[in-house]
């Protein structure tokens, strides 16, 4: 196996551009991957004269959104790393050589667990400015062996993180406390371009026609990886329960599931009794169009820091049925959303679904919600630009906890 593959090179720029590398992309598109893309896009479109932007692909399957990065002429650097606990130190050696040969000015590490401290070990003796960004509030495993291996290495990862001096950033207060404990950190809310999500009635009609969904039907939309954290099986169970208790709604309410993952086969069997009303779309690049098509977002995640999709849904004017366990009160910009607990019964959840169907948001109310998001810190043209100027280009914050 080749240790590495570096298809692009960093060249000195007469304008003295800063080179920045984003780490954290995976084969599955989620909130972290969307954040990286949005930030890289912002730099490319608004700070072209200040930054050369790179994205690391150290996955075996290849990163998600690759075509989107290529379309924006954002460079992807492929590094082949060994997998498995036994290859931990070999992985660090390869990364050390990589960072020694590629003198980045900034490296922005996007972390969903302490395991990302591995990159800090590899960057230890460089002059690179490092941003370590927490995007999660918890981590769970549905398999015992990976859980044992991860928790066995936590003391090592914690020591590396605590003895490093990156700029600590978190998607929310909870994500910062979970990752950094009592260390200083900056809160950077997950941001979007609200204009991209403004409801379009024509798009709404055309997408529904393509999917075979009637104009007057109510549509719940699930967007996320089909994995343990996102708990899509619970969402399908709730939808099934809705149609059991309210059979009159058959053909009048649909569940559209966007995403891929290891649970797909199980979910297909779980939805068999209502397969006419549950549609699996796989990975899609037209999320704003699908949100225009739908009415409600179904978000039963077991844990989240600041669900990206919840911000997107609010910008689209959708109403949200979200687990209390993944709720982030700071990110609640619009009204009319519901937050039952995963400890509540499926019947409680399906009753919320029934009640929401009777209060489908109008086009006017959805446009008003979009305006609220435009004025909020979750508008990336506000929060992200401030972060670029103050962190990438400026001074580090001194406060223990700062919101941008």
For 160-183, the pLDDT digits (tens) are 999 999 999 998 898 999 999 999
Band (pLDDT 50/70/90 cuts) for residue 146 is: low
pLDDT at position 372 over 90: yes
Residues 223 and 257 in one domain: yes
pLDDT at position 75 over 50: yes
Band (pLDDT 50/70/90 cuts) for residue 141 is: low
Is 4 contained in some domain? no
Is 69 contained in some domain? yes
> What local confidence, expressed as pLDDT, does residue 56 receive?
98
Is 1 contained in some domain? no
Model pLDDT for residues 56-73, shown as the tens digit of each residue: 999 999 999 999 999 999
For position 87, which CATH number holds?
3.40.50.2000
Among 316, 321, 311, smallest CA distance to 293 is for 316
What range defines the domain where residue 245 resides? 194-374
Residues 158 and 240 in one domain: no
Is 5 contained in some domain? no
Is 214 contained in some domain? yes
Task: Report the domain count for the chain.
Answer: 2
pLDDT at position 11 over 60: no
Is 3 contained in some domain? no
Is 257 contained in some domain? yes
Is 354 contained in some domain? yes
Question: Residues 6 or more apart from 168 whose CB is under 8 A from it?
Answer: 132, 134, 176, 179, 180, 183, 184, 185, 186
> What local confidence, expressed as pLDDT, does residue 2 receive?
41
Residues 226 and 354 in one domain: yes
Residues 388 and 326 in one domain: no
- Mean pLDDT, the chain, integer: 90
Residues 386 and 370 in one domain: no
> What local confidence, expressed as pLDDT, does residue 85 receive?
66
Helix (H, G, I), strand (E, B) or coil at 318: coil
Residues 105 and 32 in one domain: yes
Residues 55 and 186 in one domain: yes
Give the Cα separation of 177 and 211 in Å (integer): 43
Segment 255-265 shows an average pLDDT of 95
Segment 237-263 shows an average pLDDT of 97
Give the Cα separation of 81 and 66 in Å (integer): 19
Residues 127 and 230 in one domain: no
Residues 176 and 211 in one domain: no
């Amino acid at each position: 196996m080749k240790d590495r593959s570096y298809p692009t090179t960093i060249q000195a720029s007469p304008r003295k551009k800063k080179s920045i590398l984003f780490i954290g992309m995976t084969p599955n598109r989620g909130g972290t991957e969307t954040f990286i893309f949005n930030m890289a896009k912002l730099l490319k479109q608004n700070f072209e004269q200040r930054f050369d932007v790179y994205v690391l692909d150290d996955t075996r399957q290849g990163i998600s959104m690759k075509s989107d990065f290529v379309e924006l002429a954002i460079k992807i650097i492929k590094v082949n790393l060994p997998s498995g606990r036994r290859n931990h130190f070999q992985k660090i050696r390869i990364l050390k050589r990589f960072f020694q040969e590629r003198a980045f000015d900034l490296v922005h590490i996007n972390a969903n667990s302490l395991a990302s401290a591995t990159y800090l070990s590899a960057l230890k003796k460089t002059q690179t400015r490092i941003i370590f960004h927490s995007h999660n509030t918890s981590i769970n495993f549905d398999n015992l062996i990976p859980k044992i291996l991860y928790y066995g290495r936590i003391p090592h990862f914690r020591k590396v993180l605590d003895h490093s001096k990156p700029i600590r950033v978190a998607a929310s207060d909870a994500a910062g406390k979970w990752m950094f404990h009592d260390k200083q950190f900056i809160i950077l809310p997950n941001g979007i371009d609200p204009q991209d999500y403004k409801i379009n009635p024509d798009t709404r009609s055309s997408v529904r026609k393509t999917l075979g969904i009637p104009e007057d039907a109510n549509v719940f939309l699930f967007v996320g990886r089909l994995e343990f954290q996102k708990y899509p099986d619970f969402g399908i169970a709730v939808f099934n329960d809705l149609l059991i208790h309210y059979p009159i709604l058959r053909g009048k309410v649909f569940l559209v599931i966007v995403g891929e993952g290891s649970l797909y086969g199980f979910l297909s069997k779980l939805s068999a009794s209502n397969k006419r009303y549950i549609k699996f779309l796989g990975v899609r690049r037209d999320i704003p169009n699908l949100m225009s098509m739908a009415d409600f977002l179904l978000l039963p995640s077991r844990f989240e820091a600041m669900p990206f999709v919840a911000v997107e849904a609010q910008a689209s004017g959708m109403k949200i049925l979200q687990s209390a366990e993944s709720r982030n009160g700071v990110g609640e910009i619009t009204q009319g959303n519901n937050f039952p607990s995963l400890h509540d019964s499926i019947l409680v959840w399906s009753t919320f679904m029934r009640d929401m169907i009777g209060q489908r948001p109008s086009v006017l109310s959805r446009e008003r919600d979009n305006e609220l998001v435009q004025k909020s810190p979750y508008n990336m043209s506000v929060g992200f630009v401030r972060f670029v100027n103050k962190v990438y280009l400026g001074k580090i914050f001194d406060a223990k906890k700062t919101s941008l």
